[in-house]
Structure 1
Amino acid sequence: MSDIPMDVPLPSAPAEDTSQHVAGRRRWVLLWSLLINFFVLLALYNGVISVLLPNQVAALDPAAKAANLAIVMSITSIFSTLTTPIAGALSDRTRSRWGRRSPWIALASLIGSMCLFGVSLVTSLWSITVLWVMAAIAYNAMQGPLSTVVADRFAPANRGTASGFIGAGMTAGGTVGIIVAGQLASQLVLGYLVFALAVAACCVAFVFLNREVPSEHLKPAPFSLPGFLRSFWIDPRQYPDFGWAFLGRFTIYMGYQGVVTYQLYILRDYIKLSVDQANVVIGNISAITFVMLLFSGLVSGFLSDRVGRRKPFVFFSSVIMAAACVVPLITPTVEGMYLYAGIVGLGYGAFTAVDMALMTQVLPRDTGSTGKDLGILTTAINIPQAISPVMSAWLLGLSGGDYSVLFIAAILFVFASSFFVLPIRSVR
């Protein structure tokens, strides 16, 4: 992208395509469809990553289970991060009677589910890795276009509600997925099959229930590989709002994931609980966080649409999350962790509810690249999920295993993210 001098006014954005915006009954069907799809998708992610895959890898070589699982997840993270923006860009160029996003949602979910079920049938680390990476690529190729539906089919005034529904679905799905996977951990084939069938069925049903406008008549821009690759760099000097939004999302997830990843070890080594006590308390923490996330997400998304503002919700939700991380520093007790869980759930729920709506409103003016641009913003979540555990391990090494440094780092990251939203000009 060419640079634009700061003293030259930017051209006004073209009128937004409203041909696919839904209203009335269709809007409610789409809202609940999105909630259910993201519920099932996050149930799969959390159930497989937290329960099924670790059990399967541990059964291969119990002594090397941690290292082997790290290998699988590291490789997967690389491919997942690359897939989302590429699939989004390709969906922007897709021309079919089913539209631009629907073919990706349906076909990629079917391919991913077949690969996921294949994971349950193999018995070596390399075959598990290959099939799980293939499943992750397919599911990320589906998730990007599915997320883009918010920008495609909802008017800006309704995107806070849509974002709230998606956030509620993700929150509930992540919790339920771990519970279901725990019940099926002794029957890995059945466990993988349940999640694979659920995602495939929901995605295919989504496409049929929420028919997309055909895209056959749309003329794609001329394609060149160098131009296609260059399009993934969005110059923050030319599109500063996009850059600030990316930075804000990146930093808040760096802080949040750094604590969540080591939560069980925090309870054991910082709060000084036994193994059995820690396992009980972490379940209670998850339940408290879940309730607050669900309530905060739905309410914040609705209120954001009612008042027509995004930035105050994102700002104050970040401040609330930073305040939550102060509690365990002052009160390193079980009660302190419960209070932390409630406050962080309140803040994180509000953030996830409004964040997606905000992201759809800071996209560059080229409305034909919505899928690609939202995919790039998704990497602001994927990258912290991969590197924040490494950062946390490094901090623990420097501090001699003092877990308070994780809360201090989280406060710094999350609090900083609240200020990155302030310079955004295109969204109130």
Structure 2
Amino acid sequence: MDDTIPVSTDPRPGHVPSGHVSPAPDPIRLSRLLTFVFPATTALYALFNGIGMILLPAQVAQLAPDSKVGVLALLTTLAAVASMIALPAGGALSDRTRSRFGRRAPWLVVMALASGVLTIAMGMTTGLVALALVMTVLWFTANFYGGAIAAILPDRVPVHRRGVASAVIGLGTPMGVLVGVNLVSRVSQFWGYTILALVLAVTTLAFVAGAREPSSLDLVTVEQAERRGAMAAAGVFFRAFRHRDFVLAFASRFGLFMAYFTVSGYMFYAVQDYVGAHNVPGGDVAVAVSTLATVSLGAWIAVATLCGWLADKLDRRKLFIAVSAVGLGLSQIIPVVSHTWTGMLVYSAVSGAALGTYFAVDLAVMSLVLPDKESEGRDFAILNVATGLPQLVSPLVAGALISSLGYGSLFLFSAVFALAAGALAMCIRSIR
């Protein structure tokens, strides 16, 4: 089958729908595109998770051992605020970028290099105030990058291949976690941060050179810019929320990531305090967390590609989201019943399989509820804010739950949100 990415899906030659863009021809075959975008996506998630799951909690525990839970909650909250601003900004500004290198590529290069510098600086930071400042700016640049690279799917992948593409690109998340946490848990703090920075820069340069984006200099848009007040401009920016299925997709994604981040953000401390450092192999919490991540991601990877292919074949994508949400919800009961090392290993395998099912179709579902072709980058990034909002809220919720009810309550809270996410996904009408 020829998987060269088509120029247009409109049957009328030369027709440009009102308010839409007419893209330049993209001669890159889908297999080549995915070959280069996968490592870049993996590197981004390696940076996020290597820092968030291992490096940052360990750094905070060293700098503020008596108030580590509260300090970590504050830092992750600041970072989440930055990500919420950066994600739609990355999508919206790249939508409107015109260069011979395309709309997304210039931003990817600039933000990858900026993020690399900030990551290395974070590893050299020895004070909490400086750490908070550097991390906040880093999360802005890295999420700006994320907003731009997320638009690759609706930009350059035909609708009928988005299940497979979603599964492959989605595998960048578990592979990023796998690479990130295993790598940084076995090297020093400085080298952990430095390697993450270098990998992001190298994979980004390889992507923009190996799967070159068509020029956007001649990109045609029918909708003309108007002078608008601040309220009107905000209304235009968020107009995708006028569409029911877009709102449901956003809410479902928020629920699932709320379930995920509430637990994953405090996994280091859950292993350390809930399971007990003396109950994990070797008494090494960092290695224990990376082992749990490896088990989870092994199950994730095992099911993700198969589910992506099957979802395209059956054309039943939201069904897979519902199944994954139920699986994730049920998996949260395991650590409550058995907060032992064995219980955590079983929990990691079951939750990983559920997440793999979800991420196999997540990007495809998001791309299919976008209401405006001209603003796909912006609207896709707004859907990605459903990832940033849980990162903002979950540390506050998790900190309160741990302080008042203990670590077991994190898993029960996560179960409720996972099940709610599945119910919302089933209400989307435009996708089977």
TM-score normalised over the length of structure 2: 0.85
- CA positional deviation for 1:240: 0.2
Residues 254-295 of structure 1: per-residue CA shift (max 9 Å, x gap): 122223333355456555673645736544432221110111
- CA positional deviation for 1:425: 1.5
Q: Does residue 382 of the first structure (1) align with residue 385 of the second (2)? A: no
What is the one-letter code of the residue matched to 1:414? A
- CA positional deviation for 1:18: 8.6
Residues 110-159 of structure 1: per-residue CA shift (max 9 Å, x gap): 22222323334454433333333222222211111101101111111111
- Counterpart in the other structure of 1:292: 299
Q: Distance in 2 between matches of 1:281 and 1:122?
A: 25
Q: Distance in 1 between matches of 2:67 and 2:422?
A: 40
Q: Distance in 1 between matches of 2:25 and 2:339?
A: 49
Which SS does the other structure have where 1:196 is aligned?
Answer: helix
Q: Distance in 2 between matches of 1:390 and 1:68?
A: 11
What is the one-letter code of the residue matched to 2:420? A
In 2 relative to 1, CA 22–301 (structure 1 residues): closer, same or farther, beyond 3 Å?
farther
Number of residue pairs the alignment of both structures matches: 409
- Counterpart in the other structure of 2:204: 203
- Counterpart in the other structure of 1:419: 423
Residues 215-253 of structure 1: per-residue CA shift (max 9 Å, x gap): 1122554154624432333364x3000000011111111
Q: Comparing 50-59 with 212-221, which one deviates more in the overlay? A: 50-59
Q: Comparing 126-135 with 353-362, which one deviates more in the overlay? A: 126-135
- CA positional deviation for 1:62: 5.1
- Counterpart in the other structure of 1:233: 238
- Counterpart in the other structure of 1:261: 265
The alignment-based identity, stated in percent, is 31
Q: Distance in 1 between matches of 2:384 and 2:212?
A: 25
TM-score normalised over the length of structure 1: 0.86
- Counterpart in the other structure of 2:410: 406
Which SS does the other structure have where 2:216 is aligned?
Answer: coil
In 2 relative to 1, CA 198–260 (structure 1 residues): closer, same or farther, beyond 3 Å?
closer
- Counterpart in the other structure of 1:85: 88
Q: Distance in 2 between matches of 1:266 and 1:125?
A: 22
Residues 313-369 of structure 1: per-residue CA shift (max 9 Å, x gap): 1111111112222334445544333322221111111101211110000011x2111
- CA positional deviation for 1:22: 6.3
Q: Distance in 2 between matches of 1:410 and 1:404?
A: 10
Q: Distance in 2 between matches of 1:191 and 1:332?
A: 29
- Counterpart in the other structure of 2:350: 343
Q: Distance in 2 between matches of 1:140 and 1:265?
A: 25
Which SS does the other structure have where 2:214 is aligned?
Answer: coil
What is the one-letter code of the residue matched to 2:195? V
Equivalent pair of 1:76/1:136 in contact (CA under 8 Å): yes
Equivalent pair of 1:112/1:138 in contact (CA under 8 Å): yes
- CA positional deviation for 1:298: 1.4
Which SS does the other structure have where 1:380 is aligned?
Answer: helix
In 2 relative to 1, CA 131–283 (structure 1 residues): closer, same or farther, beyond 3 Å?
closer
Equivalent pair of 2:401/2:410 in contact (CA under 8 Å): yes
TM alignment of 1:220-369, pairs within 5 A: 221-222=224-225, 224=228, 226=230, 227-234=232-239, 236=241, 238-267=242-271, 271=275, 274=278, 276-277=280-281, 279=285, 282-364=289-371, 366-369=372-375
What is the one-letter code of the residue matched to 1:425? R
TM alignment of 1:180-219, pairs within 5 A: 180-186=183-189, 188=190, 190-219=191-220
Which SS does the other structure have where 2:47 is aligned?
Answer: helix
TM alignment of 1:85-124, pairs within 5 A: 85-124=88-127
Equivalent pair of 2:279/2:341 in contact (CA under 8 Å): no
**Long gaps (5+) in structure 1:** 1-12
- Counterpart in the other structure of 2:14: none
In 2 relative to 1, CA 334–363 (structure 1 residues): closer, same or farther, beyond 3 Å?
same
Equivalent pair of 2:24/2:214 in contact (CA under 8 Å): yes
- Counterpart in the other structure of 1:395: 401
